[in-house]
Amino acid sequence: MSAPIIQNVTILGATGTIGLHTLDVIARHPDRFRAYALTANTNVDVLFEQCRKFEPVYAVMLDERAADSLKTKLQIAGLVTEVLFGMDALEFVSAHLDVHAVMAAIVGAAGLKPAIAAAESGKRILLANKETLVMSGSLFMQAVEKGGATLLPIDSEHNAIFQVMPQQKFATLKSGGIKKILITASGGPFRKATDDELSAVTVKQALNHPNWVMGPKITVDSATLMNKGLEVIEAHWLFNAAPEQIEVVVHPQSVIHSMVEYVDGSVLAQLGNPDMRTPIAYALGYPERIESGVSSLDLFKIARLDFEEPDTVRFPCLRLAFDALKKGGTAPAILNAANEIAVEAFLNGKIGFMGIPRIIESVLSDATISLASSLSTVIEADKLARKAAKEWMLTYSC
Ligand code: NAD
Ligand code: MG
């Protein structure tokens, strides 16, 4: 069967940063892509405006009341988009027969089930939701294989690695002639902060990332370096890389998005302005290259590229993520769940910045780690870790 001319795209998390960037790229190519289904948690106003502009077949809200309100607004505006609500509906638009590609851009563990639904039904999955791979890497990769899905990483680092690898996955990295993967990290806004300064970090400071514009959770993750830790685990599953084959390199300019070192000494890198429309356009158009709206890289203006080793003493989250990866089983899911609770508590002013690694470390060391043999095991581990993190906050001040 020849490829369809217009690709129907479901965007999970359409109202978020990645969702908005995806719609920006889609709008540049009306002859290639159609926003078939758009989803959001509770943001009725933004989803309504998107429905007005893109006229999707479906709009899905996680929240039922938000869905009712969206339905009313669409009816008044005379739009025929069908409104659905709930997790089942998110899975429905991810697995829908008419859908070719699914942008998985819900933040956190909430994105897991719809991403698995897309994998099982053989879609082209544009994976931004790294938490899916962190929680259930083995199960998700199995679902991709079994469902005959095509998995394309959106995270800029993994997209860069994908671009400089001759093929996405090898039986072992060595068999592909690859020595190691070098994941770059901006180092976040507190790269040079002292211990005292780190303890006193405010929410406003943490939300001010030097190079990237992102949703609040991933922005805090970038400031603690947990984002890099989650990305190490993500790289492990995507590229079949052992923990020792993954190195984190702090590169404050965020121009090199990651690198691959080959056994002959060659190091291949992908460069570009820090704008998520590049990886999104790459994955939407793959294997073709399409316009993204991103401006040319001005190397004369950048002038220099710096590199540093990450400091896992001041930023324990990176060490904790490597530990969880080495422990395996449900450990990464536990790490992720404890992190989500801790970041939410930090954003709500309930704990300090350095309380985030403290909570995660404690939850991880007390947890019983089991084999991540089924989705229900992973979801149960996630639930228990959330409970443990909340209890820890009630018992200790951080
Ligand atoms: P965001 O907070 O800006 O947007 C999140 C989206 O998910 C919103 O549309 C929201 O309505 C939806 N959502 C939130 N909770 C939900 C729930 N419980 N059920 C259903 N929908 C829900 O986040 P973002 O920055 O766009 O990031 C999205 C994902 O992409 C994250 O996993 C993040 O780690 C990853 N990512 C983002 C960037 C970036 O530059 N923003 C880069 C790489 C990876
Ligand atoms: Mg990234």
pLDDT at 210: 83
pLDDT at 169: 64
Residue 106 in contact with ligand 1 by CB distance below 6 A = yes
- Domains defined for the chain, CATH in brackets: 7-153 (3.40.50.720), 156-271+298-312 (no CATH), 328-398 (1.10.1740.10)
CA of 72 to the centre of ligand 2 (A): 37
Q: What is the pLDDT of residues 283-308, one digit of tens each?
A: 999 999 999 999 999 999 999 999 99
Residues 48-74: b if buried by 16+ CB within 10 A, e if exposed: bebbeebebbbbbbbbeebbebbbebb
pLDDT at 369: 97
Residue 218 in contact with ligand 1 by CB distance below 6 A = yes
Low-confidence ranges of the chain (pLDDT < 70): 1-4, 168-170
Q: Is 16 annotated as a binding residue?
A: yes
Cα 157 to Cα 155: distance, rounded to the nearest angstrom: 6
Give residue 54's identity as a one-letter amino acid code: F
Atom of ligand 1 nearest to the CA of 108: 32
CA angle 106, 109, 114 (to 5 degrees): 55
Closest to 180 in 3D by CA, of 248, 229, 226, 238: 248
Q: Which ligand number lies closest to the CA of residue 19?
A: 1
pLDDT at 371: 97
pLDDT at 213: 85
Q: Which ligand number lies closest to the CA of residue 157?
A: 2
Q: What is the pLDDT of residues 112-150, one digit of tens each?
A: 999 999 999 999 999 999 999 999 999 999 999 999 999
Is there a contact between 336 and 129 (Cβ–Cβ < 8 Å)?
no
Q: Is 55 annotated as a binding residue?
A: no
Give residue 203's identity as a one-letter amino acid code: V
CA of 303 to the centre of ligand 1 (A): 33
Instruction: Determine the residue of 11, 17, 38, 278 to mutate for testing ligand 1's pocket, defined as the one with the most ligand atoms within 8 A of the Cβ atom.
Output: 17
Is there a contact between 11 and 35 (Cβ–Cβ < 8 Å)?
yes
Cα 24 to Cα 20: distance, rounded to the nearest angstrom: 6
Q: What tokens appear for 25 in the block?
A: 């790229």
| ipTM, 2 dp | 0.99
CA of 157 to the centre of ligand 2 (A): 5
3-state SS track over 33-95: EEEEEEEECCCHHHHHHHHHHHCCCEEEECCHHHHHHHHHHHHHHCCCCEEEECHHHHHHHHH
Is there a contact between 165 and 240 (Cβ–Cβ < 8 Å)?
no
CA of 271 to the centre of ligand 2 (A): 14
Q: Which of left, alpha, beta for 188 (phi over 0: left; psi -120 to 50: alpha)?
A: left
pLDDT at 173: 87
Residue 16 in contact with ligand 1 by CB distance below 6 A = yes
Helix (H, G, I), strand (E, B) or coil at 221: helix
Give residue 195's identity as a one-letter amino acid code: D
CA end-to-end span of the chain, whole Å?
A: 58
Between helix 44-54 and helix 17-27 the angle, nearest 10°, is 10
Atom of ligand 1 nearest to the CA of 221: 34
CA 349 to chain centroid, in Å, comes to: 24
Residue 40 in contact with ligand 1 by CB distance below 6 A = yes
Q: Is 53 annotated as a binding residue?
A: no
Residue 110 in contact with ligand 1 by CB distance below 6 A = yes
Residue 272 in contact with ligand 1 by CB distance below 6 A = no
Residue 107 in contact with ligand 1 by CB distance below 6 A = yes
Residue 215 in contact with ligand 1 by CB distance below 6 A = yes
Q: What tokens appear for 121 in the block?
A: 């039904």
Instruction: Determine the residue of 218, 230, 275, 382 to mutate for testing ligand 1's pocket, defined as the one with the most ligand atoms within 8 A of the Cβ atom.
Output: 218
Cα 41 to Cα 275: distance, rounded to the nearest angstrom: 24
Q: What tokens appear for 275 in the block?
A: 């704008």
pLDDT at 2: 55
Helix (H, G, I), strand (E, B) or coil at 14: coil
